[in-house]
Structure 1
Amino acid sequence: MSVVSRIRSLQLKSLSSNIQAVSYVQIIPQRGISYDHLPVPPPAKIQLKPPPNEKGHFQYERYWSRDKRYKPQVNSDTIYRFFFHNLEHDYELWPVIFLFSVSCSLVLIIAYYTTRHIEIWFDRSTKTPPWDWSRVRDKYWKLPHKCYDPYGYSHQRLFIMEKLQDKLLRLLVREELVISMEIFKNII
């Protein structure tokens, strides 16, 4: 007798029969969830007979590993199981894998951080380097200088230096590169 027919056959007159009906109703979804995937398929009902003149083991079963109705798949059949099916048993490899993943992530973080520095010249389409004052004037204080700067001392604008660099840039553009002590006195 199935669960649904048991529920239908209950006469809901007393409190205990109501509780039984509710418990049966709760069992139905749990059974559907737990038996959604069968663990291993049953053996084939029809087996091939081995040839009479052959010796040895002869048994034919269909390959059920990629059938979605059955879980789990055979080890090493899917990509995930190919890489990770031994990890649940080889727990001594867990620290090595953890250290490898931490070191790889640190290398990626350091590579990202170092490419943000001003000294790296990726874009060679312009003739002016990235550290030229004409390109850096509006963003030099935003670029990373140190790995650890909790108070932001390296991310402050230096107005005296900006003034000096602007004057030097104007002199460079005018091609007045005669550097003498008098020019430095006028700049400051």
Structure 2
Amino acid sequence: MTDEISHPITMDKRVDLALAGAVVATGLLAIWMAHDFRIGKFPDPLTSRGVPYIAGGALVAGGALLAFRRLSGWRDLPGHLTVSEGTEDEAGHPASSLRAFAIMACAFVWAALLVPAGYLIATPLCLCGMMWAMRVRAPLRLIGFPVGFTLITWVIFAQMLNVLLPLGPLAPLARRLGLMY
């Protein structure tokens, strides 16, 4: 007797190939956009273009590899469907695209609120929203972690490393307390 796992044949090869192409296009866009970045006056082996070039190159290579894998196995099964990859969701804990999009929306809201509201206000609010999307409902976790994380990262970056984080309406208070210039 063999223990075979049967996977349904429901994944569309064309969609998979299109997604691989989109990954390649995103990498090429990152490389193209980085080409116009100014190089600073300080000696830096990577320059300001280095990270986008590396990340874009990794996206191009990864997308090309995915496209090659899909194209090389195209004839294994007739038609446009192929064996689904991955495993089923854990019983009682289904994956949710709504949850993923809610977390991404919280990240965009954080980016939009960062300057007007400030790091100390925007960060715990957005982290709380992300945790709510992940179904965390315990008050201590839902409030304690975002506040603690925000304060610890603010102390490390703003106070110890002198990174200028926007404080929004809290800036006058921080200046009076000598926490910023």
Task: Work out which structure has the larger RCO, using CA pairs closer than 8 Å and 6 or more positions apart in sequence.
Answer: 2
Q: Same fold (TM over 0.5)?
A: no
Give the TM-score, by structure 2 length: 0.23
Q: Answer 1 or 2: which has greater helix percent.
A: 2
* Higher-Rg member (1/2): 1
